[in-house]
Every structure is written in structure tokens, then in C-alpha cells.
Structure 1
Amino acid sequence: MPPLAGPDRIIHADNLDVLPGLPDAAFTLVYLDPPFNSGRVQGRRPTTNVRSATGSVVGFQGQRYERIRGDLVHYDDRFDDYWGFLEPRLAEAWRLLADDGTLYLHLDYREAHYAKVLLDALFGRECFLNEIIWAYDYGGKSKRRWPSKHDTILVYVKDPKRYYFDSTAVDREPYMAPGLVTPEKVELGKLPTDVWWHTIVSPTGKEKTGYPTQKPEGVIRRMIQASSREGDWVLDFFAGSGTTGAVAAALGRRFVLVDENPAAIEVMRGRFGEISGVEFEEAVARG
């Protein structure tokens, strides 16, 4: 396939209709924030990407992918529907990653542990780079359990020997105990670790678009700064309010955003409509 070229694109479509038409190894960074498996029914469609018990992919402790999936389905049958929805899209994401590329998969506590085991099998455990915990403190707080105030972002690289990562490009953050370090370090700030303390999008803040699952620009900014260069292409095919594209553009990256929700497309038209060089596209569904 030819390399990716042309304008930044926002595509209104089911992502599984669009992804096969994008060129191999075109994106240095893929960020995915899929619908969390919170009890809602997920759409499914047949796929040829299912791994067989005798296939060549060997994951955790040498087990075949189909065995791991079977074990997890036996444990929790709700997972099969969710993974049937997500797996073919992750297989496409892997194909679309450049050799030095990185996948960031944003989940919550319901699916992160399942996804980690299955991604190890699907992509190779050696390609796992990080588990990032995004911690926040906003909203209701249960008194019958420890309140859930974090999301998990699983980070996998296409090639563990070639992936791009530039920690010096990441915005630094204040020290939590500035009195324990030198004034020079306080002024410089520290690099974020794999635990990111960052507030959610404020309901009254200037970032707010009105889209219910909007993620803060600061969280996306760290990923794009560290795992891509200026001019690189970034892909988000659960684009929602378009934050990935907005941050990518501000940092000099190119982007492709895909979402099938008309409300998301309307939000993105308001967000990008006045920006030169961004094209909106209606994709035709496959028969």
C-alpha cells in the first residue's frame, strides 16, 4: 500500500469499515479509548482475525491465544461479547502501527486485566511497555467500597527494539514534596511516572465540548509528546470529541480520526470546522 498522505481527516463511519483501507505501518501512535464494557450491549460482526488453537501466536507462559481466550470466556461470558467487538479492531491497529510505533489502549477496571493477558498473546508479551494509571478525584464517592478513581492505559510497542520514545519532550510536573529536592529541581519539575495525577475535564472549563466521555488534553498530550515526532501520523478510531486530533495538531502531528456516532462528528465539526487542512469524510459501509 502507498504511504499515508494528504490532509488531516475526520471520518464518519464504523471504524471496522475504514481501517482495512488505511495503509500498513502508517501511524507512529495509535490511541484507543473504546467504549468500556459497563453492561451495555456491544455490536459484533464476523471476523477472520480469530486465532486458532494451533496458530503461530504464542503468548503468556507459552499458551496459544485461543486457549487463553477460551479460559477467560469460561470465567466471564460477558467478556466474549466485548472482546469479539474489540479484537478485530486491535488487530487492525497493530497492522497500521509503524515499526517504531506505540499503541495506547485506554480502559477502566472492568476490562484492563482481561485485555492485558489477551494483548500479551495477540501481540507478544515482549511488546508490553507500560501500564499507566490515570488517577483523578472527581464525582461521587461510594461508602460501601474504595471509590474507583482511576483508568488504566495499556502501552504496547510494535517492535521492542525499535520503538520511539522521547522523555525529554514530555511536559514536566511539580514535585509532590518540593522540600526534599534542590531549588533547581523544583524549578525544572520532574518527569511523570506511570501514575498520572490529572483532573478530568472540568464541566465549566474551557476544554469542555459537551461530549460525555471527553478525555483531558493533558493526558493525551503526554502520550503524543513521548511517542511521536513532529510530522508523524496519529490515529484514533474511537475519536469521540476529537481531543487526540486537537492535541496532535497543536503539537505539529498529522491525524486521522474515526467515529460512527453522529453526535461525536458534530462536536468535531465545531472543534475543527475553522481549521484549514482538515477534511470531513462520510465513509460508505461495506456490504
Structure 2
Amino acid sequence: MDRGGNRIVLADNLKALGEMESGSVELIYVDPPFNTGREQHRPQMKTVRDEAGDRVGFGGRRYRTERVTGERAGAGYGDRFDDFIGFMRPRMEEAYRVLSAAGSLFFHIDYREVHYAKVMLDEVFSRDGVCGRECFQNEIIWAYDYGARSKKKWPAKHDNILWYTKDPRRYTFNLEECDRIPYMAPGLVGEEKAARGKTPTDVWWHTIVSPTGKEKTGYATQKPLGVLERIVKVHSNAGETVLDFFAGSGTAGEAAAKNGRRFVMVDENPEAVKVMRRRLARYL
């Protein structure tokens, strides 16, 4: 679906990314599967160390990417660590290619995989004499307080969002566009500051999408519009393009369109595309 520069694409995201022009997207947000162990049906890839390979990683090490064939490939994709990183790596390589010179990438993940994902992204962003670790800008903690509480350990009530920039020194960061939040101790800062509020830090307190609220689309992994609007407004400019190639319910698309940006939403799930077509119809 494509009208007015906004697109919803039903496709395998690796294929869709391969058809996009290099440097054509100013902001990428992805919320991939969280390696939960649930069966997923998608092609399996693996990255193999190979000095003759066509991909260069951290420290100059070289790799090649292969599609898994045979009996394993015929089965559903298992969300296990080795497969997860092997699945994500070629997609993030393509994401790096389509990202503009001053663009940002946000990788939304959970506590079980964030450290593996960061090492992988450090390698992907190591190009042209730039160390990927320098392209890493922040690990944002999205904290919420909803759902069951474990009695055996501290309950996990946060997600991790890794922010990388293609250029470690030149990128969009419009802090003045950010929403403001209340001071925790307003009496200590005076009435004027308390009324104005403060800009957030790298810990974002924001409720999940209410199961009974107007924002709910019925899509299981839907993320709050407020979190995506903050990313879009601060890390892109009006008229630029926002890409989400694990688009799900299309929250990134709505955040982009509401704030004068274009969007490209990609998902291989027909149900997700149906949800997005309903949700984003007025922007298409």
C-alpha cells in the first residue's frame, strides 16, 4: 500500500530492505522478536567467521552470512539466542546501508538479549574507519509498572532501547521538541521550573498501552504512541522518512505521520498489515 510517500509493505523484511535505496531513511526504529522461545516461521540465517567474507565486523574481523538449509530450515524458527542474532545480523546490515549519513537507529529489545544485540550492533556500525562503539549514543530504559510480580526475583518491568547513529558526531537531536515531564520533587526547584517541567533522562517512565484504552489496536506487542512520538520528534525532522521493518501494529507510522514525517512500515504478517491499514488509513 503506497500513497503520498507513506507505505505499508507486506513482505519479508530482508527482501524489502534489499530493494530500498542506500541512505534513503533518516530514522529507523525496530522492535524485533525478543527471543522468547516461541516458535516463529521465518527464514534462518547464520553469520560465520570467514577472512574471505564480504562483511567486516568489529576490529576488522570478516564474516559471511549464510541461509540455513536442510531439516532445520524446514522447521519453524526457534527464538533462541544463536538463531536470533543470526537472524537479526543481515537485517541490521541492510538497515545500516539504507540509513542516511546523519541518521539514527533505535533497536528495542529486552533484558535477556540486550547485551548480545549491542555487541552485534557495535560490529555492524564499525565501517569506514569508524568504531561502532562510538556510534552508540544511549541505552534508553523504558520503565513501566503493570502486570504480575514475581515472588522469586525482582520483577522485570522495563525494556531496553539502543540508540545508534551512523556518524558519531553528526546526527539529529532536537531536544527542544521533546515533551516535558514533572519534577519528582517540584518543591525543590521553584514554581516556574515546576510548571515548565523537565526534559527526560535515559530512563523513560511511560505506561504500557492500556488493554481497554482507545489506543489499543488488538495487536499483542503494540508499543505506546507516546514513546514513539518522543523518538520521532527528537531524532528526525519534518518531511523526513521513518522506517520500521518489524512494524507490527504500526505505532511508528502513526507517530511519524502525526508529526509531519513520512513512513515506511514493513511486516511479513498479513494480520499486522490489516491492523496497520485500519490504523493508518487517514495517512495513506
> 1:96-122 deviations in whole A, cap 9, x for unaligned?
111110000000011101111221122
User: Structure 1 residues 65 and 167, CA, compared in 2 at 3 Å: closer, same or farther?
Assistant: farther
2:13 is aligned, of 12, 15, 26, to 15
Q: Distance in 2 between matches of 1:65 and 1:148?
A: 36
TM-score scaled by structure 1? 0.85
Gaps of 5+ in 2: 64-78, 126-131
Q: Return the structure number with greater relative CO, CA threshold 8 A, min gap 6.
A: 1
Match of 2:61 in 1: 64
> 1:108-166 deviations in whole A, cap 9, x for unaligned?
01110111122112211110000000000001111011001000000100001211111
Counterpart check, 1:188 vs 2:196? yes
> 1:54-107 deviations in whole A, cap 9, x for unaligned?
778453xx47376xxxxxxxxxx9422111111111111101111110000000
Match of 1:44 in 2: 43
DSSP 3-state at the match of 1:267: helix
| Worse-superposed segment, 127-136 or 15-24 | 15-24
Counterpart check, 1:101 vs 2:97? no
What RMSD over aligned residues (CA atoms) do the two structures have, in Å? 2.0
Give the partner amino acid of 2:16.
V
Match of 2:27 in 1: 29
Q: Which 4+ residue blocks in structure 1 deviate beyond 2 angstroms? A: 40-47, 49-59, 62-66
TM-score scaled by structure 2? 0.86
> 1:36-69 deviations in whole A, cap 9, x for unaligned?
100124533457x76635778453xx47376xxx
Q: Distance in 2 between matches of 1:54 and 1:172?
A: 50
Paired residues of 2:92 and 2:124 also in contact (CA < 8 A): no
Give the partner amino acid of 1:52.
D
| Worse-superposed segment, 35-44 or 97-106 | 35-44
Give the partner amino acid of 1:31.
Y
Give the partner amino acid of 1:39.
G
Structure number having the greater strand percentage: 2
Match of 2:166 in 1: 158
Counterpart check, 1:251 vs 2:251? no
Number of aligned residues: 259
> 1:177-206 deviations in whole A, cap 9, x for unaligned?
111112111111100100000000001111
Give the partner amino acid of 2:43.
R
User: Structure 1 residues 51 and 166, CA, compared in 2 at 3 Å: closer, same or farther?
Assistant: farther
Paired residues of 1:9 and 1:257 also in contact (CA < 8 A): yes
DSSP 3-state at the match of 1:151: strand
